[in-house]
Amino acid sequence: MTHASGDTLAYQGESRGPSQKQQARLNGLMRSQATFAWALIAPAALYLMLVVAWPLVETIRLSFTNANIGGEAYIGTANYEKLLSSRKFSQTISRTFYWMFLSVSLKIILGLIGATLLNAAIPGRALFRMLVMPPWIVPVAIGCFGWLWLYNGHFGIISGVLQYIGILDGPFEFLAYKNSAFYAAVVTDVWVGLPMVTIFMLAAMQGVPRDLYEAAYVDGASRWYRFRRITIPQILPVIITMSILSIIWTFNSFEIIWILTEGGPRSATTTLIIDTYKMAIANFKFGQGAARAVIVVTLLSVFSLVYLFALHQIKKRFEAV
Amino acid sequence: MMDHYSLPHKIFLYVCVALFLGFILLPFFEMFMTSLRPLEHLFRSPYQFWSDDFSFKAYAQMWVTVPMLPRYIANSMFISLSVTALALTFIIPAAYAYARFDFKGKTLSLGIFLAVNMFSGAVLLIPLYKLLRTYGLLNTYFAMIVPGAAFLVPMGIWLLKSYLEKIPRELEEAAFMDGASRLYTLRRVVLPLAVPGLMVVGVAVFLSAYAQQFLFAITFNSVKEFMPLPAGILEFIGFQSVKWNQMMAASIIGILPVLVIFLFLQRYLVAGLTAGALKE
């Protein structure tokens, strides 16, 4: 019998001891709890098997076929061979990693700065904390419609301001040129992901014991020193968690690029996900699309394993102290 | 003492906050300003920051340009509510099991659930698309509800589990002792106590469902009657010209419901969402 139910028995016993029948019933319930737990989990598990696990397996199978709108035939590893020998695909891979690296590091750095600002004891911070949230809760697609207009060269405010202060000497279409379109997409992706990173880092900062700071303050440590030597180590697990979540989401990020550029101009913003979608859904080449999807899933699994390993290391270090 | 800032420091902090929030809020600000301008004004170059012809006309005209707009809004609500209801039917029992019982494979199965968060819908679209196509389910509400809900179930289980763990076990055990069945206890003892937690999870799922509609809508549906708002707004982008002011007005209308919900529940939402993730 578990500890918890022992407590209950004592509590029940105040008025009258539990009858043998009740005792037997409780024992029976404890024994059958695994069956009951699995029965409760089964609907969710079956549902996810149908909508997530089966598609995953099916994607792997399709990646070895030439499936298209008309039919499919087994073609072995031809899809993969084609991908690995394609220069365009290796460009897509490196572009995806560059996209991920830029966007994630900006989110983490700006998130740290934002969380520190919102954690400072200044009047109005409750309001500021609230104002950070909208990009997180608003549909990504709708936020991107706003950015689409902001990036407009002739009539958007960004181009307008840059012309006004003299950085641009004429209208500039941000989404029409390879480089600017890429960085514009990064900025929008950062905008979408930043609120969540900021809020989680803020929550972590609020959880750091105050006496740590007070002790350091009494010892004359500067704010910067306290930030570096207390805040950062204390919230490191959250920084790592936010990094990996950002990596996964940036890697998977579809709507932002699709709405802004559909992967263009001339593939400048075609990440792995966009490439997969274009191949499979726009061109109906399911087999070739599936091979790309399998590569996406493989990379995501690697990231997640690295994350679990990193978190494990940190926990070990924390426990050792 | 420690929290005291000198005046220059304070000013510096406020300037930084202003820059930070400026970046976050710029699109919303510009959306709103654009929605107030007449179309001709928008296409004036060079860019004009201010003018005297602001009006709310776009909010009236947008219903004429895109007559299906009310239907899109209703579709969005209907899809999000259905996704929420569907997800909760799977979330509630599973979260209860993870919060209350110890059994073999608990950690592993929970880990597998959470691993689903790794995938976005975009990776799994191909088989889902083929499946829906085979069974003639493309271009139905079903196609936009059933696949989408799956990606919210793990998050919901995790959030609700953390909440349920805080409810004392004694009440349930007392109910068992009095001869209540397990399902009866779950329904009549646990769930009423869990209402605040259920609200947070329900609202979080609803907001996510509302936010994620675009991908499933543009992939699985091409019938106007079933389009949710985020995809429907694309109609403002016409062959001839884009009615930007009306498009932004419709976008404002589209984000208003979630902003209102958030405004009322933000304290509980932020606490509920971060609590689950920060617990080691």
- Please indicate if any CB of chain B lies within 8 Å of the CB of A289: yes
Instruction: Kindly state the tokens that stand for B80.
Output: 């999000």
> What is the residue extent of each domain of chain B?
68-236
What dihedral do alpha carbons B242, B248, A196, A296 form, nearest 10°? -20
Instruction: Kindly state the tokens that stand for A10.
Output: 């004592």
Q: What mean pLDDT value characterizes chain B?
A: 85
Residue B65's pLDDT band, with cuts at 50, 70 and 90, is confident
In terms of CA atoms, which chain B residue is nearest residue A212?
Answer: B2
Shortest CB distance from A214 goes to which of B2, B97, B214? B2
pLDDT above 90: residue A13 = no
What is the identity of the amino acid at A129?
Answer: R
From chain A, the residues in CB contact with B150 under 8 A are 47-48, 51-52
- Please indicate if any CB of chain B lies within 8 Å of the CB of A147: yes
Instruction: Kindly state the tokens that stand for B50.
Output: 């201010």
- Asked whether the ipTM of the predicted complex exceeds the cut of 0.85, the reply is yes
Find the mean pLDDT for residues B128-141: 89
pLDDT above 60: residue B149 = yes
pLDDT above 80: residue A319 = no
Residue B260 makes CB contacts below 8 A (sequence gap 6+) with: none
* Residue A15: per-residue pLDDT: 45
**Nearest Cα to A230, choosing from A213, A251, A244?**
A213
Are B159 and A5 spatial neighbours (Cβ–Cβ below 8 Å)? no
What is the identity of the amino acid at A26?
Answer: L
- Please indicate if any CB of chain A lies within 8 Å of the CB of B265: no
Around Cβ B82, how many Cβ atoms within 10 Å?
A: 18
Name the minimum distance, in Å, from the CA of B35 to any CA of chain A.
11
Residue B242 backbone phi and psi in degrees, to 5 = -100, 125
Interface test with A, best of B14, B32, B47 (most A CBs within 10 A): B47
Find the mean pLDDT for residues A1-21: 47
Interface test with B, best of A2, A59, A112, A149 (most B CBs within 10 A): A149
Task: Quote the percentage of chain A above a pLDDT of 70.
Answer: 90
Domain B68-236 has CATH 3.40.720.10: no
Around Cβ B111, how many Cβ atoms within 10 Å?
A: 10
Q: Which of A81-90, B46-55, B175-184 has the lowest average pLDDT?
A: B46-55
Interface test with B, best of A131, A136, A155, A200 (most B CBs within 10 A): A155
In terms of CA atoms, which chain A residue is nearest residue B233?
Answer: A142
pLDDT above 60: residue B278 = no
pLDDT digits (tens, 9 = 90+) for B67-85: 888 899 999 999 999 999 9
From chain A, the residues in CB contact with B173 under 8 A are 4-5, 8, 26
Q: What mean pLDDT value characterizes chain A?
A: 85
* Residue B280: per-residue pLDDT: 40
Residue A8's pLDDT band, with cuts at 50, 70 and 90, is very low
Residue A17's pLDDT band, with cuts at 50, 70 and 90, is low
Residue A95's pLDDT band, with cuts at 50, 70 and 90, is very high
Find the mean pLDDT for residues A165-171: 82
Segment 70-99 of chain A within 8 Å of chain B by CB: none
Q: How far apart are CA A101 and CA B260, in angstroms?
A: 34
A70: left (phi over 0), alpha (psi -120 to 50) or beta: alpha
Name the minimum distance, in Å, from the CA of A126 to any CA of chain B.
10
Instruction: Kindly state the tokens that stand for A176.
Output: 């029409």
Instruction: Kindly state the tokens that stand for B128.
Output: 């889902």
* Residue A2: per-residue pLDDT: 39
Tell me the C-alpha to C-alpha distance, in Å, between residue B192 and each of A29, B165, B175, B206, B272: 22, 15, 14, 20, 18
Q: How far apart are CA B254 and CA A141, in angstroms?
A: 11
Q: Which span out of A10-14, A42-46, B168-172, B187-191 was modeled with the highest average pLDDT?
A: A42-46
From chain A, the residues in CB contact with B89 under 8 A are 43
pLDDT digits (tens, 9 = 90+) for B38-60: 877 777 666 677 777 788 888 88
CA dihedral over A92, B219, A261, A244, signed as positive or negative: negative
Are B88 and B156 spatial neighbours (Cβ–Cβ below 8 Å)? yes
Residue B43 makes CB contacts below 8 A (sequence gap 6+) with: A154, A155
pLDDT digits (tens, 9 = 90+) for A194-214: 999 999 999 899 888 888 888
Find the mean pLDDT for residues A272-299: 90
Find the mean pLDDT for residues B182-204: 86
* Residue B95: per-residue pLDDT: 93
Q: Which domains, from first to last, does chain A contain?
A: 1-31 (no CATH), 78-320 (1.10.3720.10)
Residue A99's pLDDT band, with cuts at 50, 70 and 90, is very high
Exposed / middle / buried, residue B168 (Cβ in 10 Å: 0-12, 13-18, 19+): exposed
Segment 106-165 of chain B within 8 Å of chain A by CB: 106, 109, 113, 115-120, 122-131, 146-147, 149-151, 153-154, 157
Segment 298-317 of chain A within 8 Å of chain B by CB: 300-301, 304, 315
* Residue B186: per-residue pLDDT: 84
pLDDT digits (tens, 9 = 90+) for A300-310: 889 888 888 88
Around Cβ B195, how many Cβ atoms within 10 Å?
A: 10
Around Cβ B46, how many Cβ atoms within 10 Å?
A: 12
Tell me the C-alpha to C-alpha distance, in Å, between residue A153 and each of B33, B47, B145, B218: 17, 10, 38, 27
pLDDT above 80: residue A35 = yes
Find the mean pLDDT for residues A269-287: 90
What is the identity of the amino acid at A217?
Answer: Y
Name the minimum distance, in Å, from the CA of B162 to any CA of chain A.
16
pLDDT digits (tens, 9 = 90+) for B153-165: 998 998 898 888 8
pLDDT above 60: residue B248 = yes
Q: Say which DSSP state B52 is in.
A: S
- Please indicate if any CB of chain A lies within 8 Å of the CB of B13: yes
Are A256 and B124 spatial neighbours (Cβ–Cβ below 8 Å)? no
* Residue A198: per-residue pLDDT: 94
From chain A, the residues in CB contact with B101 under 8 A are 33-34, 36-37
Q: How far apart are CA A248 and CA A312, in angstroms?
A: 19
pLDDT digits (tens, 9 = 90+) for B209-236: 998 888 899 889 888 889 999 888 888 8
Q: How far apart are CA B5 and CA B12, in angstroms?
A: 10
- Please indicate if any CB of chain B lies within 8 Å of the CB of A247: no
Q: How far apart are CA B165 and CA B181, in angstroms?
A: 20
Residue A10's pLDDT band, with cuts at 50, 70 and 90, is very low
What's the whole-model pTM score?
Answer: 0.87
Task: Quote the percentage of chain A above a pLDDT of 90.
Answer: 37
